[in-house]
Amino acid sequence: MNARPPASTMPSHRLSVAPMMDWTDRHDRYFLRLISKRTRLYTEMVTTGAILYGDKPRHLDFSKEEHPLALQLGGSDPAQLAECVRIAEQWGYDEVNLNVGCPSDRVQNGMFGACLMAKPDLVARCVEAMRGATRLPVTVKHRLGIDDLDSYDLLTRFVRTVSGAGCDTFIVHARKAFLQGLSPKENREIPPLRYEWVRQLKADFPHLTLSLNGGVKSLEEARAHLEWADGVMIGREAYQNPYMLALADSVIFGETAPAPTRRQVVESLQPYVEELLARGEYLSRVTRHILGLFAGLPGARGWRRVLSERANKPGAGLEVLRDALAQVPAHVLDAPATPSPSGAVPGSRSEGVSDGVQAQPAALAQEALEPSAQRRV
């Protein structure tokens, strides 16, 4: 369990990295924290069943360096969610977020995720139970709507109902979700983005904290949205091109400390890797998350090749990380993070992985009840 930092030192929701299954595990979050100290991080979605009936340390443990950190829960039973929130507070999390946005079949079968958009009264009961069980902030991440339930009036009814139960922070994925006919990946790409709905939502509910999620690929875009939104949540781009966050502390939060270079990020990661290896873990548990550190830059292909071919082998150690680093020219390793004319960090690629960076496929969701079926994190 980890003590929370004083409230005065905890960043706001101005910038955050989205919860992403199979991606934002504790190793990825530690790595991202080396790049940005202020960006708020979220766990992968963890089901209530995994916490109540599974291996709690395996699902909930994290490093103190990851603060500020939110736990995202998947569930729809108010009593179970309340108990999980109590546990989350004991574990030292800074926030608990309820998933009302995931559209996968397995999540629907567990009666949580995006299908809850059709049941605002149930979501309100869940929020009320969660808030009654903790002093932590309880937030909701949701879509604009689902299937044919996608009018602005229904969206406002959802927000009004849930906020009436005490939720004052909503993270809005600016797309609807199709519960049938589209895969989770397609649901992140095919439904059109409707930023104007989220902007109108902020105008209609000015007393609420609203963060925008969906399609944001640069700090420049985030800063533009922050002219009207309270926060911006970045998803896949922050995973596939993590160094885009290097200027977040200065550009978004007004910090004056210089951003770390890519070499400094890797060097700072090494003690963490040493501890992991000492526990008998594979090097690839960490290195699979750092393949995109040099996305679009000279040496990126060699960096990925060494890590991809050698990190998952028994006995692979820090020498693999050092050999991968040797594939990258010194001027790239030591280049300061400076804004390009477009406002993005040099070397960032708005098209994400088009230069060949491939992340592992994301799992759709965790099983709701059987701990034996829970993926190891």
Residue 144 burial (C-beta neighbours within 10 Å; 0-12, 13-18, 19+): buried
First-to-final CA distance of the chain? 16
What is the C-alpha separation between 198 and 200, in angstroms, rounded?
5
Nearest Cα to Cα of residue 346 among 207, 246, 248: 246
**Among 305, 310, 322, 265, residue whose Cα is nearest residue 283:** 310
Question: Does the N-terminal peptide bond of residue 6 adopt cis geometry, omega within 30 degrees of 0?
Answer: no
What burial class does residue 279 get, using C-beta atoms within 10 Å of its C-beta: 0-12 exposed, 13-18 middle, 19+ buried?
A: exposed
In the 3-class helix/strand/coil scheme, how is 173-215 assigned residue by residue? ECCCECCCCCCHHHHCCCCCCCHHHHHHHHHHCCCCEEEEECC
317 touches 284 (CB < 8 A): no
CB–CB of 95/71 below 8 Å?
Answer: yes
Report yes or no: 290 and 273 within 8 Å, Cβ to Cβ. no
Question: Which residues on adjacent β-strands are paired with residue 234?
Answer: 17
Active site residue 167: no
Single out the residue of 39, 14, 42 nearest to residue 26, CA to CA: 42
Task: Find the catalytic residue in 84, 102, 126, 167.
Answer: 102
Active site residues: 102
